[in-house]
């Protein structure tokens, strides 16, 4: 934005005349006639640069609010992350359920499925007729085991399963929270971009009207000298409008960047609104019914309660780990031992042996933690305290939800009244601009009158656009904070979920 400021505004700043040679401002010098000159080349160059930058943004693709919601819900990585966490929590729940099934193990007591040992022994006898004896021993030993275990009594399994189910529910609620926040962010960014775009166009029209009025005033004064300052006032107003339209364009760029962020567009890619800024359908439920529905359905409150219950069940699972657990176990083992021995020398000999044993066993496996110094008990107490903290957080969230609904409803009813007043003000100001520009004569209707009507019109236009944007955001906030969605948003959400399920 600093580069944009240097590009567009700096030439106009450089055109400001310096102080007089005596160090006094030109405003303090005696009045003298000011020569009438056409619009400066610097102003024309500044206007050319502004229009060049605007043309780059105007060439961006247009998008409706409905399309923006569908695109944002489909591309947002936070929703994809939350959905992956839901799938991970569901898999953890399935893992606990499958602990009820028997398990089958294949083990080998040795480091490898077999143990091959080869030994060589050499005996040397001293003397002239010494003989060398070589002895080789080879051994192959294996003892694989096939073990089946069924843990039919585990006091911690049911509480762990319930805790995991509540955690799975919490992940689903977090997905809904992220979705509603994203919908509100898209709506707010879209409405802000609508406001900035329409104000930009409106300021551009007023700038062109002032420019035409300046040309008309110059034609009405054949003299070379502007003794009344009429032309100077119009030029000053034109420069002021050009600065303001550049500032509005800066706001439009920032709003477009914000919309691109919530839509998860590619770097450097922007979208402009295709829908005009107009009031949406008003919120119909009363304040009390909206608060009651929000306290009943808000995912933030339910998430706190789900976390509290999950922690409570986890605490119970730890406490019940002091109870004995039992499992039915069966084992089959095959032991094989093959040996071969060879001796060579003055007397050669060889021998081998083969032993094989197969055994089966069935029994109960018993595990009972009797004393651990209170470690598990302390961990269970810690989880219980965290569960109470989550309950208190849920109570605080209820107050926050109430405030959010009340603030949004207050914005709704006030901006709804302001819209009608601002619209009437805009119509009156527009009529004044039309009359002033049509009846301009430089005397009874002069530059001062024209500039004042222009400022009044721009102020009325900004008030009306801001009130419409505020009204639309207030309605969108009431939908968000009451955990409800418009039908069009629900359709986009359903399609986005289908894309997440089938990537």
Mapped onto helix, strand or coil, the DSSP state of residue 142 is strand
Give the number of other Cβ atoms within 10 Å of residue 368's Cβ. 9
What pLDDT is recorded for position 54?
81
pLDDT beyond 70 at 111: no
pLDDT beyond 60 at 267: yes
pLDDT beyond 60 at 150: yes
What pLDDT is recorded for position 305?
97
Give ∠ CA 161-162-163 in degrees, rounded to 5. Answer: 90
What pLDDT is recorded for position 350?
75
114 secondary structure, DSSP code: -
pLDDT band, very low/low/confident/very high, at 382 (cuts 50, 70, 90): very high
pLDDT beyond 70 at 78: yes
What pLDDT is recorded for position 444?
66
Residues 268 and 57 sit within 8 Å (Cβ to Cβ): no
| Mean of all residue pLDDT scores within the chain | 83
The percentage of residues in the chain with a pLDDT greater than 90, rounded to a whole number, is 54
pLDDT beyond 60 at 398: yes
Lowest mean pLDDT segment, chosen from 52-61, 132-141, 344-353:
132-141
The percentage of residues in the chain with a pLDDT greater than 70, rounded to a whole number, is 81
What pLDDT is recorded for position 132?
58
What pLDDT is recorded for position 237?
87
pLDDT in tens, 325-358: 999 999 888 877 777 777 666 667 777 778 888 8
Tell me how far the alpha carbon of residue 405 is from its chain's centroid. 22
Average pLDDT over residues 183-191: 96
Lowest mean pLDDT segment, chosen from 181-195, 244-258, 439-453:
439-453
Lowest mean pLDDT segment, chosen from 253-257, 300-304, 488-492, 497-501:
497-501
Q: Which residue has the higher pLDDT, 337 or 272?
A: 272
Average pLDDT over residues 463-485: 95
pLDDT beyond 90 at 415: yes
CA distance linking residue 254 with residue 56, whole number of Å:
15
Q: Which residue has the higher pLDDT, 16 or 403?
A: 403
pLDDT band, very low/low/confident/very high, at 225 (cuts 50, 70, 90): low
What pLDDT is recorded for position 285?
95
What pLDDT is recorded for position 125?
43
CA distance linking residue 51 with residue 7, whole number of Å:
12
Give the number of other Cβ atoms within 10 Å of residue 333's Cβ. 16
Residues 429 and 457 sit within 8 Å (Cβ to Cβ): yes
The contacts of residue 420 (CB under 8 Å, 6+ apart) are: none
Main-chain dihedrals φ then ψ at residue 324, nearest 5 degrees: -70, 150
The model's pTM is 0.80
Average pLDDT over residues 464-479: 96
Token pair 């189910």 is at which residue? 165
Give the number of other Cβ atoms within 10 Å of residue 425's Cβ. 18
What pLDDT is recorded for position 34?
41
Main-chain dihedrals φ then ψ at residue 23, nearest 5 degrees: 85, 5
Residues 234 and 213 sit within 8 Å (Cβ to Cβ): yes
Mapped onto helix, strand or coil, the DSSP state of residue 425 is helix
Q: Which residue has the higher pLDDT, 51 or 223?
A: 51
Average pLDDT over residues 98-108: 88
pLDDT in tens, 22-51: 334 333 344 444 444 445 566 777 788 878
154 secondary structure, DSSP code: -
What six digits make up the tokens of 56? Answer: 């780059």
C-alpha closest to that of 359 among 83, 203, 144: 144
């Amino acid at each position: 934005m600093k580069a944009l400021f240097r590009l567009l505004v700096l030439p106009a700043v450089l055109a400001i005349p310096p102080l007089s040679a005596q160090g006094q401002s030109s405003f303090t010098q005696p009045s003298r006639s000011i020569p009438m000159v056409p619009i400066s080349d610097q102003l024309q160059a500044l206007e050319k640069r502004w229009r060049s930058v605007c043309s780059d943004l105007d060439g961006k693709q247009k998008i409706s609010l409905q399309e923006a919601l569908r695109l944002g819900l489909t591309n947002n990585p936070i929703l994809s992350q939350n959905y992956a966490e839901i799938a991970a929590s569901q898999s953890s729940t399935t893992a606990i359920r499958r602990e009820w099934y028997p398990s089958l193990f294949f083990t080998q007591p040795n480091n490898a499925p077999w143990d091959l040992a080869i030994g060589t022994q050499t005996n040397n006898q001293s003397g002239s007729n010494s003989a060398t004896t070589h002895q080789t021993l080879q051994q192959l030993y294996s003892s694989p085991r096939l073990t089946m275990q069924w843990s039919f009594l585990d006091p911690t399994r049911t509480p762990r399963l319930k805790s995991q189910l509540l955690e799975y529910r919490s992940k689903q609620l977090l997905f809904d929270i992220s979705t509603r926040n994203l919908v509100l962010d898209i709506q707010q960014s879209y409405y802000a971009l609508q406001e900035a775009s329409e104000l930009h166009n409106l300021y551009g029209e007023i700038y062109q009207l002032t420019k035409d009025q300046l040309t008309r005033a110059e034609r009405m004064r054949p003299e070379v000298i502007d003794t009344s300052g009429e032309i100077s006032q119009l030029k000053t107003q034109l420069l002021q409008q050009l600065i303001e339209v550049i500032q509005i364009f800066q706001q439009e760029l920032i709003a477009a960047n914000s919309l691109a962020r919530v839509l998860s567009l590619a770097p450097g890619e922007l979208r402009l609104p295709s829908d005009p800024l107009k009031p949406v359908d008003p919120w119909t439920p009363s304040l009390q019914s909206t608060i009651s529905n929000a306290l009943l359905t808000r995912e933030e409150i339910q998430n706190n309660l789900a976390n509290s219950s999950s922690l409570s069940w986890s605490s119970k699972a730890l406490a019940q780990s002091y109870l004995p657990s039992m499992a039915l176990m069966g084992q089959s083992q095959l032991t094989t031992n093959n040996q071969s021995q060879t001796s060579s020398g003055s007397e050669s000999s060889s021998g081998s042996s083969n032993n094989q044993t197969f055994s089966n066993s069935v029994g109960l496996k018993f595990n009972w933690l009797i004393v651990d110094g209170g470690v598990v008990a302390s961990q269970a107490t810690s989880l219980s305290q965290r569960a109470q903290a989550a309950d208190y957080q849920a109570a605080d969230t209820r107050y926050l939800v109430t405030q959010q609904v009340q603030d949004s409803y207050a914005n709704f009813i006030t901006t709804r009244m302001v819209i009608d007043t601002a619209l009437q003000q805009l119509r009156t100001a527009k009529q004044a601009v039309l009359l002033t520009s049509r009846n301009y004569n430089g005397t009874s209707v002069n530059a001062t009158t024209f500039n004042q009507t222009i400022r009044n019109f721009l102020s009325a236009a900004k008030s009306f656009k801001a009130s419409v944007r505020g009204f639309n955001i207030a309605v969108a906030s009431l939908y968000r904070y009451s955990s409800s969605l418009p039908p069009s948003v629900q359709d986009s959400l359903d399609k986005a979920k289908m894309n997440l399920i089938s990537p």
